[in-house]
Amino acid sequence: MAKSRGGGGPSSPGGRSLAGTRESLADPGGDELSSLGSDSEINGGGPEERRVDKFGFIVGSRGAEGTLEEVPLEVLRQRESKWLDMLNNWDKWMAKKHKKIRLRCQKGIPPSLRGRAWQYLSGSKVKLEQNMGKFDELDLLTGDPKWLDVIERDLHRQFPFHEMFVSRGGHGQQDLFRVLKAYTLYRPEEGYCQAQAPIAAVLLMHMPAEQAFWCLVQICEKYLPGYYSEKLEAIQLDGQILFSLLHKVSPVAYKHLSKQKIDPILYMTEWFMCAFSRTLPWSSVLRVWDMFFCEGVKIIFRVGLVLLKHTLGSSDKLKSCQGQYETMERLRALSPKIMQEAFLVQEVIELPVTERQIEREHLIQLKKWRETHGELQCKSPPRLHGAKAISEAEPAPRKALESVPSIFVSPGPAPVPKARKSKEKSREKGPASPANGPGAEGNGAPGTTRELLHPQASPHHQSKESLSSRESEDTYL
């Protein structure tokens, strides 16, 4: 089991401990990543010679992808139109058509709207609105030096071949530092864990720093609570849950891993803590994250189970990994075929692993944990399974949900005295002229009142206008 600083723990077949600190768990092979981030290797002959793929990775680098399955332009435009309608009427869709949102997340969120959709799905947009100015306040603070030093050392290791993070001290690294530092100030009892850095970096590729910060908060507190705490108890529990679910999904893989005595924490820690951002091809990462934000941690479990099943799930696959070392090497170098976007997403969608199964298994593993380790030291909030659960647990304030009413009707009998006064005035002036006649009263007075209440437009038009104008302000394409 993972120990705190200086403690022992499970070690890899090669003898290197994988469990000492949160840093060693989240960053196996840190020296290798450090060398990848060196300016001499990355910058080459200068920016003018650098070409990037559609995701922003330098062409020819380890992060760039080869041939990709392109969505036809017409289909992409149709999806964008549908997503814009959902985002502009989000509360209605979330309340009544959540299944449709889930299906559209499974098909993939259009790239131009992905960042905005992640904010809505995670509830980070509401969180930001409830804490306006909080990030700026944290951004101005100095921060704890013990965390700042570790964060600074990690900056160049995060996607060093992506155009945002390729330059030391560039805007991408600066924003990453701001987001991670702000989190250590927002949750000083947790501080910083290295596995948070790639999570924050992925978010920054899709949204500004403030929005990325609140999205990170939601991931750490709602989707994966306790994952980044000092003792890593939550990730150890989920490792046992994954292993138990594997028994049902792939008995062959389960039996092999049991026989080799390979603890789940040896192969699933980076998968889960980094949400596969450092494991899968980038197109697959984005599709997994689309589903993860919508459906919650069950997607992470499903991806892990699919990878284990298709790597160790048959006697033919096990012929080349008879020992512990060979098995670990196979899990570190997964087949590109099983990680390919279309194959992986379809397998994940079809795998029958539900929130109920995960929660039931969680109770079983928690009971076993208490029998062997005692009570959990980290008191994490309960895990919420996706956008629907978060929306129901933290409903947005009514002001954020509703458009501003166009016509305000005054309570009480106020209109009656006004009518009396107008009649009395007309009597004093003598016979009514055409301008002051009954026709004018019917067409003019109410119309005048309506114009005073809202001169610009009709109620229906203004309600729609006020909603769309507010939504357009936070669009980040």
Convert the pLDDT of each residue in 241-251 to its tens digit.
999 999 999 99
pLDDT value at 374 more than 60: yes
Which pLDDT tens digit goes with each residue over 271-284? 999 999 999 999 99
pLDDT at 291: 97
* Model confidence, pTM: 0.75
Which pLDDT tens digit goes with each residue over 323-365? 899 999 999 999 999 999 999 999 999 999 999 999 999 999 9
pLDDT value at 10 more than 60: no
Judge contact between 273 and 228, C-beta under 8 A: yes
pLDDT value at 460 more than 70: no
From the number of C-beta atoms within 10 Å of its C-beta (0-12, 13-18, 19+), residue 243 rates as buried
As beta bridge partners, residue 52 has: 58
Judge contact between 184 and 150, C-beta under 8 A: no
- What gap in Å lies between CA 295 and CA 385, rounded to an integer? 6
Q: Token pair for residue 477?
A: 């394409």
pLDDT value at 86 more than 50: yes
The closest of 259, 253, 262 to 304, measured between CA atoms, is: 253
Q: What is the mean pLDDT of the chain?
A: 79
Between CA 278 and CA 282, with CA 280 as vertex, the angle to 5 degrees is 90
Place of tokens 């070409």: 51
pLDDT at 13: 38
Between CA 102 and CA 112, with CA 106 as vertex, the angle to 5 degrees is 100
As beta bridge partners, residue 162 has: 57
- What gap in Å lies between CA 75 and CA 71, rounded to an integer? 7
Highest mean pLDDT among 23-27, 156-160, 344-348: 344-348
pLDDT at 179: 97
- What gap in Å lies between CA 119 and CA 387, rounded to an integer? 10
